[in-house]
Amino acid sequence: MAVRSTGPKRWEHELSEASAYSAYSTIRIERAGDRIAWVYLNRPEKRNAMSPQLHMEMYHALDELEIDDEIDVVVIAGAEGNFSSGQDLKQFFRELEDKPDQRYLMEQRYCKWRWDRLSTFPKITIAMVDGWCVGGAFTHLVACDFAIAAEQARFSLSEVNWGIIPGGMVTKAVVEAMGYRDSLYYILTAEELDGARAAQVGLVNRAVPAAELRAEVERLATMLMRKNQHVLRASKQACRMVMRGMDNDQSLDYLGAKFTQLKALDPSNGYSTGLSSFVDGKTYKPVHDPYPRG
């Protein structure tokens, strides 16, 4: 039977749409040629609240960033001094209230980019937090591999104060990051945390003076870029997988399989190179040097 051409497949269409950076109206992506993509939620007049449009744009932008060979690290931040004030209370909550189909589609999309996609993203991701980080913004904060905050950043799980629980993946995200005791405290009290407190409870890796925030993120990104990206990718996947519901036997089995998979997939053959550099050549100490870049 003759095979008819059916034109571009849906995913090809979506990928070509994703290339259209200039079409984005609620996010801004900067690439300075240093293998870092700076992705800004860009609704500063609304404190970077996440509207349906913003969710769609982030969903597509991650496609493009994933296949961009010139990028190793994706930084997620907010434009003009605020990370994000959470879901857009008007456009997301009020205006979708009587539209269950659209709301369902949106929930698929917003969970997808902020949790499923980001927390398993193959490249390194860093949340750079300044100003407000509220409610739904905790999801992509936690989903990023690293989070660096300004000392005066302001975190709040405000949900209980206006009559809802932290839904979507927020509760799951904060329990994963902070543990049960602190999560329950901040979910029930909605008490504000500053950057230093956020670092204490494990919500961010560290807090630095605002003037040093971008430089600190760049320092971390640059340090990570010198390492073998295949090893980093496998390591972060392994962390997430064992944390999310594997028992000891499953973890041992999975990590063994991952170890073998990495050896097979790493084109730089970093494992053998590193091993022989240390054991035979005595030219390399793994505790001091970055693993050879693959």
Q: 25 in helix, strand or coil?
A: coil
Residue 130 contacts ligand ACO per CB under 6 A: no
Cα(112)–Cα(119) distance, rounded to whole angstroms?
10
Nearer to ligand ACO, 158 or 277 (CB): 158
Encoded one letter per residue, x for contact with ligand ACO by CB under 6 A and - for no contact, window 33-72 reads -------------xx-x-----------------------
Render 170-238 in DSSP notation, one character per residue. HHHHHHHHH-HHHHHHHHHH---EEHHHHHHTTSSSEEE-GGGHHHHHHHHHHHHHTS-HHHHHHHHHH
Are 135 and 159 in contact by the 8 Å Cβ rule? The answer is yes
Nearer to ligand ACO, 49 or 220 (CB): 49
**DSSP conformation class of 9:** -
Q: How many residues lie near ligand ACO (CB under 6 A)?
A: 15
Are 35 and 71 in contact by the 8 Å Cβ rule? The answer is yes
Q: Which of 86, 195, 274, 294 binds ligand ACO (CB under 6 A)?
A: 86
Nearer to ligand ACO, 47 or 140 (CB): 47
State which residue has the least CB distance to ligand ACO. Answer: 135
Report the 10 Å Cβ neighbour count for 130.
22
Cα(231)–Cα(266) distance, rounded to whole angstroms?
8
Stretch that binds ligand ACO, among 88-96, 206-214, 228-236, 240-248 (CB under 6 A): 88-96
Encoded one letter per residue, x for contact with ligand ACO by CB under 6 A and - for no contact, window 148-187 reads ----------xx----------------------------
Nearer to ligand ACO, 38 or 138 (CB): 138
Binding site for ligand ACO (CB under 6 A): 46-47, 49, 85-90, 132, 134-136, 158-159
